[in-house]
Structures are given as C-alpha cells and as structure tokens.
C-alpha cells in the first residue's frame, strides 16, 4: 500500500517506498505460534507473523528499513481472531510493527487507530525508544470521540524479528530447595554501573553482570539465587521526562518477551537485537557459578497507563481483551495497580500471553523462576481476589511453569482484598510483609509483643500452617528495592525523597525505622556503633529465621540511598552500588552469617515444629524458665531464648541422609541495656559455646563468658543484640 488509507479511525499517511529486498506480497501463513517466527513455508524461507485481535477490522504489517522507510502489507487471513501472514525473504533483524483498523469508541472501550504504529505483544526483541508527544499520546484532538490523526511511527519503538537459537554451555541448571535458598535482589544496571573491575563498555549491562568480577561478589557472599528487578522491555512514564528523570526500576513493561534493550552492551555497540543472546549468556554464566536466576515480572499492568496514556501496543490491538474495565463502564479502566490500568487476566488472549511469556523465559531464556509484582491483580475476579482464579489455576496445571520458583508480592492497591498475605495456593511462596514490619518494630524496641516476634521467627505458622504449606512459603524480608536500604533503615526516621520532584510526598511514611539518634550521616562514633549493631541484629534475625531469606543487594556493604525510600526514578549514584567504599566489616559479617546458615540445617527447617515435634523448638524466658501464657502476653517483653534441637530432623537431605545437627540457643535482646540470660540444660556432656555475638562480632563469648558455659550459668547479652550458642562437648 503506497497511497493514503482512510478508515473509520482516521487517515494514515502514505507509506514510503518498500525497503530494499522486501517482497510486499504475503502468503497466508499460520495462526500459531503468535509473534514473528522465522522459518520455511512450502520451501520458501521467510517469517510467519501472527497477532491476536477480536475487534480488528483490518491488520497491516509494517516493515521498516534502516532509514525508516516503511512498507505496509495487509494481513488478510484471520483464524479464530488471529491475523497471520507469511512474508518470504524476511529474516532475523527485520524491524516491524502493526497498524490495526477497527472501531474507535473510547466510551465503549474500543480504541483501534491505524495512525498508531503498534508493537507486537510477542516481540522477542525491541529496538529504539519512545519520544512522548501528541503523536504517541493522541492529544491532537480536542474531542476525545475523534481519534488522533497524527502518525506515531517516527516516535515509537520497533519490534524485531529474532533468531532465538543459542549455544548454551551449561553443565546443568542449578536448583536450590527453597529451604536452602538465599535470595539476593539486585538491578542489572545498578549492580554493575560503578564496578571498577568491570570494563566501562560492559557496566550497567547483562554482559556486565556476567563478568567474573560481578559473579565473584555473589559467590563469595554465598547467596544462591539472584532476583533481578524487571528486565522486560519497559519505557519511562511521560511525566518523568519533564523532570529529567526516568523509570529506573523498570516497572513499566511494554514487551513481555523482550529483554530490555537499555541493559545491553550489544545494543550500545550498534547491534539491535543483540540483547537476546547477551541475556542468555548472562544466565549461562550465573548458572555455571551455581546461581539461580529469578525474574521480577510485571504482569499486572503495562506502560500504556490510563485513558490519556501512550498508545504503544495492547490498547490499539484489543483494548477490552488486554485491560480490565469498570463493570458497566467499559470506557474506564479498573485500576488495582496505581498505574492507570490492570491487565485482564480473565480474558483468553491475555491469559495466553501471560503463560506463553512465562514458558518462554523458562524454556528459551533459561530463567529459573519469577517474582510476581502486585500478584493479587492477576487473581482478581468480580468479587475480588480468588485463589482459584484462572491465572493461578493455569499456572498450577502448566507442566513447565508449575515447576519453577514462584514468588508472589501478595498485595496490590485494590479496594477489596488488597492485602492477601497467606492466601496464595500451596505452590506459591510469598513476600512476607508481616515479617518485615514485625522485625523492624522489634529491633527499634517498639512493643510488638514477644509472641509476634516468635511467630515470625519460626516461619509464620499463623499464615502458612494450613493447606499443606510450610515455613518456606514465607519469603522473609526486612528491606527490598521499594523502601529504605538497611543502612538507611538505621539512619533515618523520615523519608527524604526531594530528588524525585514531588516535594517529598511520594513514598510511604510508615517506614518503622530508627535513626539511632541523628538524622542521616553522623560523625558521632557512638551513633555509628549503634547503627552497626542494629544492622547486624537485623541481618542475623533474617538469616536464622525459618523460611526463605531475601537480602536486598548492597545491604551487606552498607549501601545508602541518602534516605530516599522511593528511588524508582533515580538512575544515578543514589541507586548504583558504590564499590569504592563498601562497609567491609558488615560485608564480612554477612558472608559468615550466610555460611553459618548453610552449614546448619537446624535453621533451615522445612516443617513447622509444633505438636509432637515441640521438643525441637522450645522457648525460654531470660531467666531460663519455659515461656508460659503470662510471659507470652507480656506487652513489655523484649527478650527471649530460642532452643533448637538439631538431633532429629524429620526431613532428609537430597541424597536421603538424615539432616542431623547440633543444638543451638538463640538469645535475643532488644532492650537498650545488657541482659543476663540463664542457660537451659542441653545434651549430656555438652556445654554452650558462643558462635555469633552481634554486639561484638570479633570477640564471641567475651560479653558473658559463654564459651563452654553449662546449664544454669548466666551469660550477658549485649543491648539490642543476638547471641547464638552451640551445644558442644565440654572442653
């Protein structure tokens, strides 16, 4: 088509001449698989294009040459709402997009407009960036009932035909049991951007994360699983551009099959599409180091935002299929994400997209699992969150996805059931917000109740002790990307988000933090020492609690965001790791702590210890007496002794051998004064030997002579600290 096309949705400017070597005649093709698939049809090499839309009157495939020249090819074949065509001579590297003609009636949720170039929802790679303006936002019409006539092709990204073949060099993909996992959350760019041992051209990229210097930090630290902030292709919000900011975290997805091109050294070097092989090479390098790769995925909303947001893909293809709308008002988006829209996980087209995407990242890209952002949105029915919703049901039945690590962020911003902690099916693990809040409060000496602390420490049986769930259903966290870092948690009482340009109104004000006596950086050595002790106590609690520990990347080295608890838009030194001045003492302590957890299965129990197994987990007062009802009910209690019997674990190691261990006593004191603790009886012939003392980590046992102490003796636990004792033969 070389002349202007007029439809009910407006006028599309004439296409330029066909790219050199492109044959404009299309063959029928096949409706499966969706997306652009290079191959051979009837002995002819080319690419099959397939896109789903239940509302389109016409679909036009747009092919682009290196100068931006566009060839438009009508897609004439439609089977069961899938439009498809086979293009001879088209192969990997070809840039393309779609124009979809059909009804334009926003009040009824219909938004087809062939003036807008659209990405392929199944694009395996995406090139370019988005230039926000009226061409993309559709602001050229004063009357919203009339579609924009401005062509967006020169202002939006292109889909790329991609060859997904790759020569994997993995000896085998690692798999760590949940109980044995230590998850480490990082951002691809922020982790590597300032690393002095990574070549400058690789910093901030997948190749940078695959570099031996980056991997060495992970393996030396001892974590098992790297959880990457979103790596799907994303675009910044339009409003951030005016502030000179961008969406650093990446929670503004537009391509669910495409690795983000901004993290690719190959793309920087002028090789569009190279991000696919580069991502795979990164995964392969991490796997060879024994590290799993979990991806943070944003299947709850897209970058197209609300009704006034950009038209980039889904909105123009089939708005009602891809997005939930308000019942009785299809022109309004039903938003449980706070981002303007919610994906419609109840529609077959969208549900298929979600499952196809997850399988692709597992099978083709070799990811090991997913963390689902605002997961309740994926399981919302008309009555609210439903644990047997279509998406959760399909995941449990899928032979590929059901075997992956599946972690839910169990809250969104819905008006009904917005906090669904403990309500996901047994297959799932959940970020435990109750654990985070309790442990933060406990160590700032807030009266949360000693029973609440004990419940969180022991795996949150009140949340997960039914329906076949185990302590490993709880992903324990104290800090994550959203909120304060650990250093800031002990250095600031209040958020300091002025750099975000919203007058410090953004981000939560409920931080449950304590600045230890001064707001922000402090030269007072007593304050610095207190902050260090608080950090060690928090990290020790995290690593010794039953469940799956999640460590925010950089917490082990004292990373600060200068009090910014909502640094989603800070792609700069505020969020990038400062490798030049790490807190090496804290890093060494964290490394030893992770190794301690790995060495002792008693802290990695996979079952709740109650009933017949109660002797394996006992609770004592600091005076050495078993906890009773009055002790548990004491609102002022801030100390407890936890006895862990490692002699008879009902679980087994992977090779079937018993998981026996020594007995341990964990003495916890969140008082601001030292506390004498009486030691309980242990195994015959054994005494209590100090293993960890967060008050003075360089002198185990020095605070109370705990080395070799016997039952009935007293040890002194320092203020705001944890002491861990091991039962070992006397002498």
Q: Map 332-354 to HEC letters.
A: EECCCCCCCCCECCCCHHHHHHH
Tokens 């009802």 identify what position? 629
CA distance 591 to 414: 39
- Residue among 645, 731, 723 at smallest CA distance from 682: 645
Burial 7-27 (b: 16+ CB within 10 A, else e): bebbebeebbebbeebebebb
Q: Exposure of 128 by Cβ count < 10 A (0-12 exposed, 13-18 middle, 19+ buried)?
A: middle
285: left (phi over 0), alpha (psi -120 to 50) or beta: alpha
CA distance 160 to 549: 39
Whether 409 sits among the annotated catalytic residues: the reply is yes
CA distance 87 to 280: 28
Among residues 409, 571, 583, 663, which one is catalytic? 409
A 10 A CB-CB count for 129 gives: 12
Hey, what are 19's tokens? Answer: 């790219």
Partners of 408 in the beta sheet? 372, 430
Q: Is-contact 101 71, C-beta < 8 A?
A: no
Residue ranges in 203-342 assigned as alpha helix (H): 206-209, 212-221, 238-241, 265-268, 275-288, 314-322
CA distance 272 to 159: 10
- Residue among 233, 285, 227, 296 at smallest CA distance from 264: 233
Q: Is-contact 690 701, C-beta < 8 A?
A: yes
CA distance 368 to 401: 10
Q: Is-contact 199 132, C-beta < 8 A?
A: no
Among residues 135, 227, 318, 373, which one is catalytic? 373
Whether 373 sits among the annotated catalytic residues: the reply is yes
CA distance 643 to 688: 12
Q: Is-contact 134 148, C-beta < 8 A?
A: yes
Tokens 């293993």 identify what position? 691
Angle at 511 between CA 510 and CA 517, to 5 degrees: 120
Half-sphere exposure for 372 (CA within 13 Å, toward CB): 28
Residues marked active site are found at 373, 409
């Amino acid at each position: 088509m070389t002349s202007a096309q007029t439809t009910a949705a407006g006028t599309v400017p004439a296409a330029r001449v066909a790219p050199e070597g492109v044959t404009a005649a299309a063959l029928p093709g096949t409706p499966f698989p969706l997306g652009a698939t290079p191959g051979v049809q009837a002995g002819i090499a080319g690419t099959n294009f397939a896109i789903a839309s239940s509302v389109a009157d016409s679909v036009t495939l747009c092919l682009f040459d290196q100068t931006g020249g566009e060839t438009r090819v009508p897609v004439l074949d439609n089977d069961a709402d899938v439009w498809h065509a086979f293009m001879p001579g088209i192969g990997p590297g070809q840039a393309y997009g779609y124009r979809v003609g059909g009804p334009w009636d926003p009040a009824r949720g219909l938004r087809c407009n062939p003036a807008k170039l659209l990405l392929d929802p199944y694009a395996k790679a995406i090139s370019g960036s988005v230039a926000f303006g009226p061409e993309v936002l559709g602001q050229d019409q004063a009357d919203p009932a009339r579609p924009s006539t401005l062509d967006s092709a020169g202002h939006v990204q292109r889909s790329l035909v991609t060859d997904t073949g790759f020569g994997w060099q993995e000896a085998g993909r690692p798999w760590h049991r949940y109980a044995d996992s230590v998850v480490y959350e990082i951002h691809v760019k922020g982790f590597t951007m300032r690393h002095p041992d990574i070549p400058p051209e690789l910093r901030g990229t997948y190749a940078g994360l695959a570099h031996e210097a980056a991997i060495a930090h992970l393996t030396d630290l001892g974590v098992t699983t790297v959880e990457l902030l979103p790596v799907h292709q994303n675009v910044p919000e339009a409003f951030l551009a005016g502030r000179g900011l961008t969406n650093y975290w990446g929670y503004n997805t537009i391509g669910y099959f495409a690795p983000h091109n901004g993290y690719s050294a190959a793309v920087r070097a002028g090789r569009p599409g190279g991000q696919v092989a580069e991502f795979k090479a990164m995964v392969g390098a991490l796997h060879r180091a024994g590290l799993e790769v979990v991806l943070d995925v944003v299947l709850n909303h897209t970058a197209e935002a609300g009704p006034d947001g950009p038209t980039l893909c889904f909105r123009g293809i089939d708005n009602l299929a891809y997005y939930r709308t308000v019942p009785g008002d299809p022109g309004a988006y039903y938003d449980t994400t706070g981002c303007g829209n919610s994906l419609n996980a109840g529609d077959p087209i969208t549900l298929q997209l979600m499952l196809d995407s997850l399988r692709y990242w597992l099978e083709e890209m070799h990811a090991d699992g997913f963390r689902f952002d605002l997961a309740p949105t994926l399981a919302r029915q008309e009555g609210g969150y439903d644990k047997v919703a279509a998406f959760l049901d399909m995941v449990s039945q899928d032979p590929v996805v059901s075997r992956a690590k599946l972690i839910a962020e169990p809250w969104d911003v819905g008006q009904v059931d917005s906090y669904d902690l403990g309500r996901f099916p047994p297959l799932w693990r959940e970020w435990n917000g109750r654990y985070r809040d309790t442990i933060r409060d406990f160590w700032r000496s807030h009266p949360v109740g000693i029973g609440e602390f004990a419940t969180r420490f022991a795996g949150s049986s009140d949340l997960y002790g039914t329906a076949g769930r185990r302590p490993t259903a709880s992903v324990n966290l104290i800090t994550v990307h959203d909120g304060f870092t650990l250093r800031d948690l002990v250095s600031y009482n209040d958020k300091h988000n002025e750099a975000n340009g919203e007058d410090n109104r953004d981000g939560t004000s409920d931080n449950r933090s304590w600045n230890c006596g001064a707001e922000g950086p402090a030269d007072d050595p007593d304050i610095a020492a207190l902050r260090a002790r608080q950090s060690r106590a928090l990290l020790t609690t995290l690593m010794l609690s039953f469940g799956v520990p999640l460590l925010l990347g950089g917490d082990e080295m004292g990373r600060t965001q200068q009090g910014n608890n909502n640094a989603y838009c800070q792609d700069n030194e505020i969020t990038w790791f400062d490798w030049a001045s790490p807190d090496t003492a804290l890093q060494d302590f964290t490394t030893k702590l992770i190794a301690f957890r790995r060495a002792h299965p008693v802290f990695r129990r996979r079952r709740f210890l109650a009933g017949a197994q109660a002797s394996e987990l006992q609770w004592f007062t600091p005076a050495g007496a078993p906890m009773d009802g009055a002790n548990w009910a004491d609102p002022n209690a801030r100390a407890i002794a936890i006895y862990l019997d490692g002699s008879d674990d009902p679980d087994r190691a992977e090779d079937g051998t018993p998981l026996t261990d020594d007995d341990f006593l964990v003495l916890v004191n969140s008082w601001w004064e030292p506390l004498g603790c009486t030691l309980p009886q242990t195994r015959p012939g054994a005494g209590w030997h100090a293993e960890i003392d967060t008050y003075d980590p360089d002198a185990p046992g020095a605070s109370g002579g705990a080395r070799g102490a016997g039952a009935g003796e007293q040890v002194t636990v320092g203020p705001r600290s944890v002491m861990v004792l091991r039962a070992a033969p006397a002498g």
